[in-house]
Amino acid sequence: MDHCQDMNLTKGGVMNEGEMSLRLGLMGWPSTAEDIIVARNTLLAELTGAHIHMQHISSAGAVEVLRRAKQRGVEVTAEVTPHHLALTDACIQDYNTNFKMNPPLRTEEDRQALIKGIKDGTLDILATDHAPHTNYEKDREFDYAPFGVVGLETCFAVCREVLCEEAGMSLPEMIGLMTYKPAELLDLPAGTLSEGAQADVIILDPWAKWTVEEETLLGKSKNSPWLGEELTGRIDETIVAGRTVYQNGKVIG
């Protein structure tokens, strides 16, 4: 698995290099820094026959490199995050550090390419890239705040809105991208409701509305780009190995 970043091109960069970084006076981070490493990895996978998985793809260029590699039969896979599917660098115009992440949010063109990529199988799975930070770490100038956002508790609702409502994907197909497909990629006996499988079960309401507030996020870190936003799609119960560990907004046990 590889975090695809050419460090020579991103030194000092804090957001996507483009019109918004120029307007805001922030050091840019070009999407080429990702595309170069994705291209390198696909060539190495093709040369060696090794399987390489690309983490948190964010650029249209990287999606196209992966698409062409898969058409040639190269054994590469890739993931995309909820925040890269839903948000763009335009969200940073008020310097909110909860929109600072690695790789950075990119343009609407990139976002649409990611949606197309996950729909046509170029991108294989959804992954949250959950990166918790304390409030005092994030409450700094944009240049100095750490990269990363929390994503576990908002993942289902955000992906449902983008992939099902906006892009027309079925709910079971979207859930598969979070469950059995990642398990298959890692060769893990998980992610299914088949007989004999471990009883890891989520009970959800796809139409329930809820507002993302610091009080509604149960994790210790609250650095979510969706704070104050109303989302549709709520997890009502989580069962791990047959034991209920979360129910109706409360952690049990």
CA 118 to chain centroid, in Å, comes to 11
Q: What are phi and psi of 72, to 5 degrees?
A: -85, -5
Q: Residue 131, Cβ neighbours under 10 Å: how many?
A: 15
Q: Cβ–Cβ contacts within 10 Å for residue 23, how many? A: 11
Tokens 């026959």 correspond to 49
State whether residue 53 is helix, strand or coil. Answer: strand
Mark whether 200 is an active-site residue. no
Contacts of 134 (CB under 8 A, 6+ apart): 221
Alpha-carbon distance values, 199 to 127, 136, 192, 202, 250 (Å): 21, 38, 9, 10, 20
User: Which among 94, 120, 129, 205 is annotated as catalytic?
Assistant: 129
**What 3-state class would DSSP assign to 205?**
strand
Q: Which amino acid is at 154?
A: T
What residues are labeled active site?
Answer: 129
